[in-house]
Structure 1
Amino acid sequence: MGTAERATPASGGNERNDDELSDGTIVAEKAAATGAARPQPPAEGIAEPTPAPTGAPAGAEPKRSRAGRNLPAALAVGLTLGVLCIAVLLFVPKVFIGVAGVAVGIATWEVAKRLREADVLVPRTPLIVGGQAVFWLGWPFGPGGVTGAFAATALVCMVWRLFDHGLHTAPRNFLRDTAITVFTLTWIPLLASFAVLLLLEEPDGNLRVLTFMILVVCSDVGGYVAGVLFGRHPMVPSISPKKSWEGFCGSLVFAIIGGLLTVTLLLEANSMIGVVLGIGLVVVATLGDLVESQIKRELGIKDMGTMLPGHGGIMDRLDSMLPSAFVSWLVLSTLI
């Protein structure tokens, strides 16, 4: 964007972008609208003071990470979700499809709601219902079912948006709204459907899904740790000012080690496949995070939702998982 970012230390390669509203353009526009002077950023490495509420004892605020999150809540939610997914994949793998399907539906609703708040009138009902068809039809019909459901849903959404104001009123911003609808359909249900294909196409499908989820977590953890400890050089400050190249390197190290171990021990395959998978997932997980960060920046929001304390919404947890599901299916189906 070419605007100045808030001068806070860079953080992990896969850490959530919690400075979505720190973009100088947004601040300047708000200042211009109110006639107020633009606030000056604090000196680098110095956190802004957060005054405690009147009468509240010091330390009453929940402990927050350098990303601005409620760290205890984020850890508790993350561990709970992780244990749940591991248990389901190991003991009742088919139930994972239902769990993931619910998450996809909620994430689609969150994004559609945020878009409509920004006056982007995506046809919410056919998008959510059709998105579920895209996701679920991979179970009985494989890639053909996913492709057919995707094409049918895209067509229904186009027609729905064309006539959603009646037969005698021309739709406003039809091209923009339908293009964003198809983008959302691709971004969430289509990419998520590759997790179903990965689960069902081979006898060890549950272990393949578990492998890619472990590697995404490795990427997140490695990026956060390396970014907090060593982050000095921002990756893309115009989109995500807290991401650093040091964090990205940390993600690579953790994901490659995780890939070597999981592919060798869980899948009993060539360890070099784990290296390829680890590198691929770090790249697409980081890009997936950046894509959502840019979307939230354009919408002027911090999170897509509020369902998960310390994380935001369901979509804020899936942004890096979705492209990783596709890359994992591609790599594992091709090389194993």
Structure 2
Amino acid sequence: MSPVDPYGSADPRGWDRPDRPLPWPDHDVEPGPWVRRPAVAPHLHADPRTRPPADPGGAYPGYDDRGPARPFRKPSGPGDPAYGGRPGPVNGRNGRHGPVGDDPEYPTAQLEPVRDEAPPMSEYPTTQLTPVRDEPAPAASEPPGRRQPGRRRAGGSGAPPTSSGKAGRNLPAAIGVGVALGALILVPLFLYPPAFLLVVAGAVAIGSWEMARAAGRADANPPLVPLIAGGVLTVGLAWFAGPDALTLGLAVTVLGSVVWRLGDGPAGFRRDVTAATLIAVYVPFLGGFAALLAAAPDDGYLRVLVTLVAVVLSDTGGYAAGANFGKHPMAPTISPKKSWEGLAGSVGAAALGSAVLLWLLFDVRPWWGALFGVAVSAAAVLGDLAESMVKRDLGVKDMSNLLPGHGGLMDRLDSILFAVPTAYLLLAVLVPMAG
């Protein structure tokens, strides 16, 4: 018995029922003109019950009238039934007869075929570049495919720079420039003291220029002409007329900067005047105390000498102790390289050297000399931190690049500018007491 029809019919179905037509037409009967040709190729119908019959008229090359559509086969050449029995060249990809290139259904047949030969080397500009050198083979303990931390390609732009010391300085250049600056100060100081006044005035002028130039990074434009002229005037008044004239020179410099700035209009006036006042106090006024030290009768050059020696010992002791033993940062947000160990080295070296030097030169008892060294060292460190804070606020590393290994002149004067007022006040008290 035949299985039950799954499509809802209760009648048994089988292939031996003559009263029901077959699910496909008889291919022996020629279809009449009323039969509509399928619009889709027979091989695109996956379901055999809905697949159209084979096309006996040759509308689909590669098919015949012997049953359901067969897989497409490539025509073998002219005269093949796939060409419709007509010899001749094949046009395009559909097997039509006609000259090559006139098939509107396949416009890509009109394109120029791809060349098999390689293009000239001029079309490959990368061949003119220098080939990358192979890296040396990794060590046995190094994992394959990875480089050790900090390792770079040889000859690359990221090659490590030449070492310049533990504190980031070019130490030979720094020592050479330091010796030259010391000679520039001490030679006129001992041979012809009035020439020392020119050295101080020139240092004040250069320092004012560097500060005004750095202030431009904060969109401030302090008037440079009255600052330099007033600074030189302040140093001269201190040399010839004493401390009261130094204060007068500061007032004249600030007033001259305000009047000069009025000519540029009100835009940014307060900002520029504030920057000018800061520069006038920081450079000419503090630098004028060096002129007061040198202008002291009989022993002015010795006062300048012990002050400079204390500052140099403070810087050298701090550098040596900080570079070798520094582990605890003192002011990481202002100067990350300064440590408490470096401060101890600065104070210790300055105290020891000043105790010996003041005892030999001024007959001051050693503990008073040590006190002098501690005070000068503390003032020098504060001056260094003050300029570091100013540079960090302005976003500059050095005030300029005038001095190799040091940066700008203000990068060397920062400690001295805070140390000379302290030394002037202490020596004014200690030396008369010893006498």
Q: Could you tell me the TM-score, scaled by structure 1's length? A: 0.79
1:126 aligned partner: 226
Please say if 1:101 is aligned against 2:196: no
- How far did 1:286 drift? 0.7
Q: Give structure 1 regions of 4+ aligned residues with deviation exceeding 6 angstroms.
A: 50-53
Query: Which protein has the bigger helix share?
Result: 1
**8 Å Cα contact 2:293-2:304 kept in structure 1:** yes
Instruction: State how far apart, in whole Å, the 2-side matches of 1:187 and 1:49 are.
Output: 43
Q: Does residue 309 of structure 2 align to residue 195 of structure 1?
A: no
In the superposition, relative to structure 1, how do residues 93 and 53 fare at CA in structure 2: closer, same or farther (>3 Å)?
farther
C-alpha contact (below 8 Å) 2:201/2:231 kept by paired residues: no
Change (3 A) 1:249 1:159: same
- Name the SS for the 2:330 alignment partner: strand
Q: Does 1:54 align with 2:155?
A: yes
% of aligned pairs identical?
Answer: 44
Q: Secondary structure at the match of 1:235?
A: strand
Cα distance in structure 1, aligned partners of 2:278 and 2:254: 10
Most deviating of 250-259 and 80-89: 80-89
Residue 392 of structure 2 is aligned to residue 292 of structure 1: no
CA offsets, 1:134-178, max 9 Å, x none?
11111221122212121111111112222223xxxxx22322321
> 2 CA distance for matches of 1:123 and 1:87?
33
The alignment status of 1:328 with 2:416, answered yes or no, reads no
- Inter-CA distance 206–53: structure 2 relative to 1 (3 Å threshold): farther
- Equivalent position of 1:269 in the other structure: 364
Q: SS at the partner of 1:243?
A: strand
Report the counterpart of residue 164 of structure 2 in structure 1: 64
Contact 1:122/1:180 (CA < 8 Å) preserved in 2?
A: yes
Aligned to 1:177: 272
Instruction: Answer yes or no: is the 8 Å Cα contact 2:217–2:395 preserved in 1.
Output: no
**For 1:243, which of 328, 335, 338 is the aligned residue?**
338
Using the TM superposition, give the Cα deviation of residue 253 of structure 1 relative to its aligned residue in structure 2, in angstroms: 0.8
Q: List alignment gaps of at least 5 residues for structure 1.
A: 1-47, 166-170
Q: 1:155 maps to which residue?
A: 255
What is the rounded CA distance, in whole Å, between the counterparts of 2:154 and 2:177 in structure 1? 27
Task: Kindly indicate whether structure 1 or structure 2 has the higher relative contact order, using CA contacts under 8 Å at least 6 residues apart.
Answer: 1
Sort the Cα spacing of 1:96 and 1:63 in 2 relative to 1 into closer, same or farther, 3 A.
Answer: farther
Root-mean-square deviation (Å): 2.1
299-308 vs 145-154, greater mean Cα deviation = 145-154
Structure 2 counterpart SS, 1:293: helix
5+ unaligned residues in a row in structure 2: which ranges?
1-148
Matched letter for residue 93 of structure 1? P
1:137 matched to which residue of 2? 237
